[in-house]
Each structure stands twice: as structure tokens, then as C-alpha cells.
Structure 1
Amino acid sequence: MISFDFSHYYTYTELVDYLNQMATHYPQLVQLKTIGQSYAGRDIWVMILTNQKTGNYLEKPGYWIDANTHAGEVTGSAVACYIIYQLLTQYPNDPAIARLLDKYTVYVLPRLAVDGAEKYLTSPHWLRSSIRPYPYPDEQDGLHREDINGDGLILEMRIKDDCGAWKVSELDPRIMVHREPEEFGGTYYTLLSEGLIRNYDGYGFKIAPPVEGMDFNRNYPHLWAPEGKQKGSGDFPLSEPETRAEVEFWQENRNINGFISYHTYGAVILRPYSNHSDDELPLSDLEIYKILGNKGKKLTGYDCVSIYHGFRYHSQDFTYGAMDDYAYDHFGWFGFTIELWDIATESGVIKQDHRIWNIDHPPEDDLKMLQWNDEKLGGEGFINWQPFDHPQLGEVEIGGWNYKTCWQNAPAKFLPDLCQKQYNFAVSQALLCPLLAIARTDITYQGGDIYYVVVQVENQGFLPTYTSKKALERKAVRPIEVILSLPDGVTLISGHLEQEIDHLEGRSNKVLSWLAKGTDYRRQVEWVIKGHSGAEIEVTVCSERAGTVRTSLSLIHNDCFTGEPHGS
């Protein structure tokens, strides 16, 4: 039995080995595909999970999961890999998982920033997404992050400076707090990232832009903006091979209804839009988003907030070119960006507002986090300030939080509980997809080799077959198609061999009212056929996002015949 290793975060080789092992061990439930190559030529992998004996994965409703869009946010990759592990190992034991993989398709892309994550995991460096030099081809003058004392970490430097904006807190000497505006006469510090200054003249310097400034989550087409307006956006929408491969896969696999994109950190579930108020969403979509967000709160403990209303640092601070905005606005998928893990929340800090807390919070919160670090991590999360003779700046102190391992990502010991909660939420979301079925088939013999045929189809899922009102508005999903196939010697008298029918509602529009809205989840199609007794006809009903179902019927000289539907 393959086990999932919670002890560390997988490097690229470990990740690929893991995916291949799962695909080899569960061939009936897994198809492993590469969807493109990264900037450095690494394969980008997507695992397609469904029971292949119950149908082709494209003929089932689909759900999308991705992670590690940002290089350093490897907790997301661990969650994605854990979801794969649980779905495959629990398939024989859990009826909900058996239903999910028998009737639906789950796509999992566990790591988009394959190049950046590899550098992040195998060196002291931080980077946002890609290793491609951007926006400048060469390193610029100024302070660059470097591990200058050789401890394998890039921390912070504090330098005594009469103009400094910081001072040591009275609560704990490890904590730095803001100097009061009117304060003079004490010991003050300037805080900088640990690093070296390129072309230092011995006087002043600036903070250099990162060499690898690309941000994949600003490179999607929705309201894309150039670098001058949106840092990290790329040369043009989908300019990067990673984001382009992902979107091309979406375009080719049109059965997707929803998504989760795993990021870090903040312990919060984010929903679109980043740059529009909730007034811009169709009312029914907004209400469904709230229902799904409440489910997320129940299963994960994370609040669900609008990015526009609850996750901007400033009223004029907007995000352009984000994946979640594009997925909802272009395809009409319901989905979330989940910011996994949060050291503050784990330490018992109460955030009244995510935006305000991230900009400024009381030193008492820092003390709580340090006490948590001392008790739960044995003090390993915070490196005490140590003097160092900087080759350019002279006497400095280096210390601070080990940002990679306890701020940006969950310490490994916290992964099991975190992964399980996220897995539960992901399964609940995938099971909300629309699900086409044949409800009833009737053949009535009319005499003279004439038959009246009725096939009734229904949507057994929560969401409608069109997914969302935004999808209808964007014409992102085609109508349901019904195809009648007749053998030789059987002819059609009335009706159509191929026709389109309107979409079917699900249960989602029922939760907005205590009154049922009729049987808007069912619709019948009728034909009059001439043929000999015993002839077999076939009806295929295709919905891009709710699946494909088929039924075979025999023409029999009975007063009425009800056939058995086939298909998922």
C-alpha cells in the first residue's frame, strides 16, 4: 500500500514519483497526463480521477483542483496530493467517494510553478512563481535577498539608525514595534531583508526589484493589466507557458463546473471578484456562493470572504489578471482561492479584518505568536537576533521568523489535520456538480409499425446543467443535445434525429425559496417512429457539464413499454 508522507514537502522528482506510483497502483481510477512544459522544460502534470469502467472522463461532470501557483506556497501542493491519495484509497470503503469517482471526474494539478517551487525547496531563496527573469532581463542595483551568514535561511536584518522607524518591544526583545511619531532619544532600527547590495556606493541604496518577479496569478486574461499597473503580470495575458498550458487544458476539457485553487496563507476562503463589488454578480450566483462558502466555514473553520470586500489592503488596491476571477467570469465556474494555514490564527489571534491585520496589528498578537512558537515548535520558528559583520553595512543583527516554514507554509506536524479538512470540503464541492440522467422511457405502439417514443431526462445534481448565471451570460456552455440513432429499416415520422433542448435546473434554485419551482429539473423529448418489431433504437443525451447518458430501446408490439435507461 502506498502511503502519503506528511514529514516534508515534495521536491519535483518526489512529486512525479508519487503521481506515477498512484497511477500505476490504481490504473482503473487514474489517468496521468502532462499538459505542457514549464519555462525550464519540466512537465506540468494533471491527474484525472474517475472510474474508467463507468464511462469516459469527458462524459462526466468535472471539477478542477490546482495548487502551488506561487512557488513558495507548497502547502497547497501537499493538500492536492493528499486529496489524490484519499480519493483513491477510500474508493472501496466510502460510498460518497465511490459515487464521486463513478459518476464524476476530478482533475488535480498539484503544482503549477514547477520551476519556482523546486528552487524554493532546494535553496534559501524566495520567489513568486517562475524562475524566468522578469520584468528585467538582468539583476538591478540595490539590496537583494541573500543568505549572507550561511545558515541556509534568508531572514531580516536590523540596523541601529537614528532615523529608524522601529524599536525593540518591551513585551519581548524579539519583537520589533513602530516608533511613535513624536518619539526621540531612544535606540531605533531600520529593518531590511537579509542580503547584499549590488553596486553599493557606501552611502544610500534602494530595495532592488526581485530578479524573478513573475506572478502567475496576475497573468490570466480577466482584466489583465501591464506591469506598470499590476506587478508580476507578464508581457501579455497567458504569456507564460505554465498559465497557457492550464487554460488550454480547460478549453479542451469542457466538462468542468467548479474549482479550488490552493494558496497560502491566511486561513481564509476567497471568492471572486477581486476588482468588482458583489453588485456585479448575478443575484442567484451570489447566493449560491454564500451557500458554498458557509459549507467551507463549517468543514474547514475558515471564513469565506469576497476578495473585493474583505481581502484588499486598501480601498484603491485591486488585483488584475487573477485565476479565480477569470475562471468565474469567463467560464462561469463556481470556485474559490483558499489561503491555507495561518500562524496568527493557529496562535489564537483574533482577526477582525484580514486586510487591516496584515498591515498593522498590536504587539500583543506578536507575543502570542512567539509564545505559540516556543510551546509548539520548540522555538524553531523564530531565529533570535544575532550580531553579524555585514561586508557592506558593517554591524547588523540578523534574525526573525523562519518565514518559509512557519508563516508561508504549515510546519509539517500540522499537515494531517489541515489536509483532512480541506479534503472534506473539496469532496463536498465536487459532489455539487450537475448530473444528467435518464428518468423515464416510454414506447407506445400505435399500430401499423408506428411507435410513439418519449424519453425524459433529469438533472440529479445540485447545480444547473449550465452551472451559473454567469456561464449563461457569457454563453460559455452549450445547450443539451439529444441524438436519436435509428437502424436500417426504421424511419422517423416526426421529431428530430438531432436537437437541442433547454438547460435543466438543479436543486440550487430551490434553496433560495421554500417553494418548489415545478419540475424544472426534468424535460421530455418525443418522436414518432416507423419500424419493425424488435428493432433497436438508441438515444444519447449530451450535456457539456452534466455528462452524457444513453439508453437503448426495443420496438415491441405492446400497448406500452418502459425501457431501462443506461448511463451515468
Structure 2
Amino acid sequence: MKVNKFDFSHYYTYAELVDYLTQMAEDYPKLIDLQVLGKSYAGRDIWLVTLTNQVTGSPLTKPGYWIDANTHAAEVTGSAVACYTIYYLLTQYHRDPQATNLLDNYTVYVLPRLAIDGAEKYLTTPYWLRSSVRPYPYPEKQDGLHWEDINGDGLILLMRIQDECGAWKVSEEDPRLMVDREPEEFGGTYYTLLPEGFIHNYDGKNIKVAPRLEGMDFNRNYPYLWMPEGVQKGAGDLPLSESETRSEAEFWQSHRNINGFISYHTHCALILRPYSTHPDEHFPVEDLEIYKLIGEKGSKLTGYECVSVYHDFRRHPQQVTNGGMDDYGYDHFGWFGFTIELWDAPTAAGVNKGKHIDWSRRHPVADDLKLLQWNDQKLAGKGFINWEPFNHPQLGEVEIGGWDDKLVWDNAPPEYLPDICNRQCRFAIAHALMSPRLVLGRADAIYQGSDIYHVMIQLENQGFLPTYTSQKALERGAVKPIEVNLSLPSGVSLVSGQLKQNINHLEGRSNKVTKLWAKQGTDYRCHVEWVIKGASGSEIEITAVGERSGMVSCRLRLEPSKVKL
């Protein structure tokens, strides 16, 4: 089938995104279902893609996996990776064995863009915003300096103003670079740095940077340890107060087959795992081991280090992040999932940052010089705008310049997208294929004489994870037991056993990855038996349903001889 190749040259606007998804749905009607998850704050449709081979079963009858992206408006690299993953799975079906196996036997749900209003504003205007276009926490802008493109070049950069109290000075090694003024230093030319913009209700004396009008952060709006605005900036009025996050959570609640997830974000090239709020001791021991193992696989396939948010990604040692999606996904549903930060300019420039948060607070000037050199050599100098004088209507003479954050810091320059997409897609496929998978290994109806049959099925979990996904899911009671149903036609009766019964969950291979858990026997397999009475030629049906491991069924004909499936 001939389809247009995925376009890596730019980031899709909303119209382009919808056109792309519609094209995929038209070209691959048996592999993709396109639906509206809900409405955004501004009334746009939130599109969800369901990927599975519909010939081999409906989506809810297979183990599920969740991918979402663009929770934050400016982080459109995530949307590109999600869209590429859709493209890859569809175009490589029957070509890539892993992609084929995934679509034949599993279901992948992809939400390519959650912050669709915010992303559209980010992509089509000079503005930056966190998630939603909804004014929050105040209905109108507050007094102070607001980010604006005041010189009309289509960018919002920085302003530098000469100031004897300024904390910055021009680097002697590169005049584009502003560096720290030494604590004991006097007698030079110093600057104050401010966002490019206008001051709302300026009194002619004091300058303060105002909070952004659009301060909502979707990734602080989920129910897990949600805290109000006074404690957690961007949290919203209450958990799931936003139509975008609420639509997402309602879908999760009604689609019980999901086992794992990836949420694509941007900045710092890391794979982040829960918790944001607790140290690793908060995990069940078994789950922590599996999280680390899956993270190692992610590091191998993507080149990104996998770290704990609490231990390695807190912006302040005495503060935690509340209301995050990944914490909610793990602690409420027991899913194994990650937030993946997709792009990092310093890493691309060859800077060895060590710990990201420490580097972002303070780092050597040599790192900034390396970034400027990378910009000049790899981006043809487009990433940094030289300082130019401007007569500000409120502040007088200023200079405007600095990094083009949208090109350099917020997202990957387009030439870096193919490699990012390819590596991340490989990990997403591998992670999804770790889900539990219920299989009917054997089914017999053995004749005992006098129209009596001994019926037996062998159920197996051929997946890596157990049919309950995680110890946390067991703690939360998040997964129902496996349900087995025997359906008998008229004239066939049950002698012993149950027509409908729940059986214990089956382990996978995950509890055998360490020496401690290696000797577990065949805990991935079980047998269910009945005795029935019926005439030769009658046909019975057996169905087994694992909420997260899939549905299997078979039909057996009663004959006075041993019958095997």
C-alpha cells in the first residue's frame, strides 16, 4: 500500500495532525481505529488512535498499552514521536516481525497530542505556554512584565539593560554570551536580563516579571497526591478539573486491558520513572526490580539514562512534584510506565552534564561556549539571535537577543527527529511486548464411556509480566481474576466443575529474572477441568478472559475418542 512518508521537516499543526491521522485510518482500516476522546477547553476534538489487527480480535480482547504525548504545549517533539510510531507500526506490518506480532496480538492506544489548544498557539504564534490556553490561576493578566514580541521579529527572546546592580556581564570569550558577574566584582559594565515584553500597569520604577496568564499544567492535574495551587503550581482547581485530563482518565477507567505506558515530553534526554513523591523504598520490592529492568532495556534502545524522579530529577531537594500522570498510572492502576524527556540541546552539543538538575542550576562557562559552537556548526547559527539595540517604549534603550528557545531548547531541530523517532519507537514496541498474554496451550475432551467426557484446558501466560501486571495492581485490587466460562448446548449437562469460575492469576517470566526468584516452577501455567455428559457430536465452547492478558476461546466436539486442539 502506497502512503505518504512521515514528514520530519517540521512539527504538525492541529489541521496537519488531523489530516495525517485521517489518512492513516483511510489507508489501514483493518489496523487502526480513529476516535474522539473528548473536547479541549477551546472546543477542539482530542483524537485517539487504537492500533490492532481487527481480524484477530477486538481491542479489549487483547493486552493493551498506552502512549501519549504533548501533555505540555511546547513539547511537540513528543507528538512527532507518537505520530511516527503510528506510521511505523502500520507501514511495517507484515515486514517487521515485532510490529506484526504487536498488532496481531496486542492493542496499542496512542494519544498524539493532549495539549492541543496550547500546542496550536505555541506552533502558530511567538508565545510559549505550559499546557492549556485557559487563563489560570487568575482570569486576567497580573501586573508586571509579560512575555511579548516587542520588536516584531516573530520571536520572544531576552532583553538586556545596562545596570550597575546587574548580575550579568558580557563574556570576554564570546560577546554573544552573558556570564555571571563575580560576587566581589565592581567597576565594569553590568546588565540585568529580562524577558522580552511589556510591563502591565508599569509605575515607571519597579519591574517584576508577572506570572503567565495561562499557567495550567496538565501534568500536575492527576489525582495521585494532588495538591492545590498554593502548594503545586499549575495544579488546577481540583484533580482532573480539565476536560483534557478528565477525558484521558475516563478512557483508562473503561479500558481495563492496559498494562504499561509511555508519556512523551521534551527536555534533557532522560527516561523518568516514578515516584516523584517518594523514595524507592516506597515500591514493592518486586516492582522496583522490574522497573529497573525495563528501564535498562529503554536505555539500551534509546541511549537515554533511566532515573528516578524523586532521587534524580527534583528541582529542589525539599520539594516534590504532585499530581503527575506517571505516578497516577503506576500507583492507581499498577501500570509500569515512564515519562520520557526526548531532547536535550547540551547533550546534542557534546556537553557532559552529570545530573541534569544540578547542571541547570549552575554549570561552567565552557559548556555555554560549546553550545554556541554547536549552534554555529550544526544549526548554521540560527539558534542564537545576536543582540540588537531597541528603543523600548517603557524602558528606553535595551538590547534584544539570545537563544531561540523554540528551535534549540524546547524541541529537537527537525534534522534530529528521524533518529529520535526511530530509537523511541523501538523501545515502545519492546515495552508493549512485555505485557502478559493469555494463551490456550491445550484443550481436550476425553471420552470416559456412557456419554461422559473429561474436559480439560491448559492456560498459559506467554508474556513477560504476570496477568495482574504488578504487585501494586494486586495491592489496589486493580485487576480482576481470570474468568473461565464453559458454554454447553441443549442436551449436554455438567456433572462436576463450574460453568463460570474465577481462577488465580498466572505469573510470567518477570519473577524469574533474578536468582532470588528463579525457582518458581511452572507458575505461568494452570489447568481447568470439568466432567460433562452429552451425546456424541455435540459441541461445547470454552472462553477464558484475562482483563489485562487477553481473551482466548475454543470449541470442542464430543466424540467417543480423545480429542486434542
The TM-score, its normalising length taken from structure 2, stands at 0.99
Is 1:34 aligned to 2:36, yes or no? yes
The AA in structure 1 aligned to 2:326 is D
Q: Does structure 1 retain, via aligned residues, the 8 Å contact 2:147–2:198?
A: yes
d(CA) in 2 for partners of 1:371, 1:406: 13
Aligned residue type for 1:376: K
The counterpart of 2:104, out of the listed 102, 105, 114, is 102
Report SS of the residue matched to 1:452: strand
Distance in 2, Cα, partners of 1:171 & 1:505: 61
The separation in 1 between residues aligned to 2:129 and 2:345, in whole angstroms, is 20
For residue 447 of structure 1, report the CA deviation from its aligned partner: 1.4
Following the alignment from structure 2 to structure 1, what is the Cα–Cα distance between the partners of residues 531 and 283? Answer: 44
The aligned counterpart of 2:353 is: 351
**Residue 247 of structure 1 aligns to which amino acid in structure 2?**
A
> Which residues in structure 2 correspond to 1:366-381 (within 5 Å)?
366-381=368-383
Residue range with higher mean Cα deviation, 263-272 or 435-444: 435-444
Give the counterpart of 2:523 among 520, 523, 527: 520
Does the CA-based 8 Å contact 2:461-2:508 persist in structure 1?
yes
Matches within 5 A, 1:116-265: 116-265=118-267
Contact 2:488–2:540 (Cα < 8 Å) also in 1: yes
Q: Which residue of 1 aligns with 2:495?
A: 493
Residues 134-181 of structure 1: per-residue CA shift (max 9 Å, x gap): 000011100000000000000011111111111112221111111122
In 2: Cα distance, 1:386 partner to 1:512 partner:
61
Partners of 2:485 and 2:168 lie apart in 1 by: 72
Distance in 2 (CA, whole Å) between partners of 1:528 and 1:178 is 83
* 1:529 aligned residue: 532
For 1:443, the equivalent position in structure 2 comes to: 445
Report if aligned partners of 2:511, 2:518 keep a CA contact under 8 Å in 1: no
**Distance in 2 separating the partners of 1:413 and 1:395:** 37
Partner of 2:542: 539
CA contact (8 A) 1:62 1:105 kept: yes
Alpha-carbon offset, residue 8 of structure 1: 0.6
Contact 1:144 1:208 in 2 (8 A): yes
CA RMSD of aligned residues (A): 0.8
Residue of structure 2 in register with 1:457 after alignment: 459
CA contact (8 A) 1:328 1:470 kept: yes
* 1:551 is aligned to 2:554: yes
Are 2:273 and 2:337, in contact at CA under 8 Å, matched by a contact in 1? Answer: yes
Q: Which amino acid aligns with 2:229?
A: E
User: How far apart are 1:515 and its partner, in Å?
Assistant: 3.0
Aligned equivalents of 1:242 and 1:51: distance in 2?
28
Q: Which amino acid aligns with 1:228?
A: G
Letter in 2 for 1:544: E
SS of residue matched to 1:304: strand
Alignment partners' CA distance in 2, 1:13 and 1:363: 42
Provide the rounded CA distance (Å) in 2 between the counterparts of 1:262 and 1:102: 25
Aligned residue for 1:139, secondary structure, equals coil
**Which residue of structure 1 aligns with residue 305 of structure 2?**
303
1:403-442 deviation digits (Å, cap 9, x = unpaired): 0111110011111111101111111111111000001112
Question: Does the CA contact (< 8 Å) of 2:221 and 2:240 recur in 1?
Answer: yes
Give me the whole-angstrom Cα distance separating, in 2, the residues matched to 1:330 and 1:490: 44
Which residue identity is paired with 1:554? Answer: R
Q: Indicate whether 1:115 and 2:117 are aligned.
A: yes
Q: Which AA in structure 2 matches 1:69?
A: T
Looking at structure 2, the residues matched to 64 and 48 of structure 1 have their Cα atoms a distance apart, in angstroms, of 9
Structure 1 stretches (4+) deviating beyond 3 angstroms?
A: none
- How much does 1:556 deviate? 1.1
Deviation at 1:471, TM superposition (A): 0.5
Structure 1 distance, partners of 2:110, 2:44, is 17
Distance between the aligned counterparts of 1:108 and 1:554, measured in 2?
41
Match for residue 272 of structure 2? 270
1:93 and 2:102 correspond: no
Contact 1:434 1:465 in 2 (8 A): yes
Instruction: Give 1:354 shift.
Output: 1.2
Shift of 1:472: 0.5
Once the two structures are superposed, residues 209-243 of structure 1 have per-residue CA deviations (whole angstroms, 9 ceiling, x without a partner) of 11000000000000000000000000000000000
Which one is further off, 197-206 or 505-514?
505-514
SS for the counterpart of 1:140 is coil
2: CA distance, partners of 1:28 / 1:442: 33
How many angstroms does 1:315 deviate by?
A: 1.0
Contact 1:463 1:505 in 2 (8 A): yes
Alignment of 1:387-426 (within 5 A): 387-426=389-428
Give the match for residue 433 of structure 1: 435
Letter in 2 for 1:327: G
Residue 470 (structure 1) aligns with: 472
User: Quick one: which amino acid aligns to residue 191 of structure 1?
Assistant: L
| Separation of aligned partners in 1, 2:428 and 2:485 | 34
Q: CA deviation at 1:534?
A: 1.1
Partner letter of residue 99 of structure 1? N
Which residue matches 2:325? 323
The answer for the alignment partner of 1:279 in structure 2 is 281
Cα distance in 2 for residues equivalent to 1:132 and 1:426: 32
Cα separation, 1, equivalents of 2:469 and 2:173: 53
What residue in structure 2 maps to residue 507 of structure 1? 509
Residue identity in the other structure for 2:505: H
Percentage of identical aligned residues = 69
- Could you tell me whether the CA contact under 8 Å between 1:2 and 1:22 is conserved in 2? no
Give the secondary structure class of the aligned counterpart of 1:509: helix
Alignment partners' CA distance in 2, 1:205 and 1:155: 17
**Counterpart of 2:62?**
60
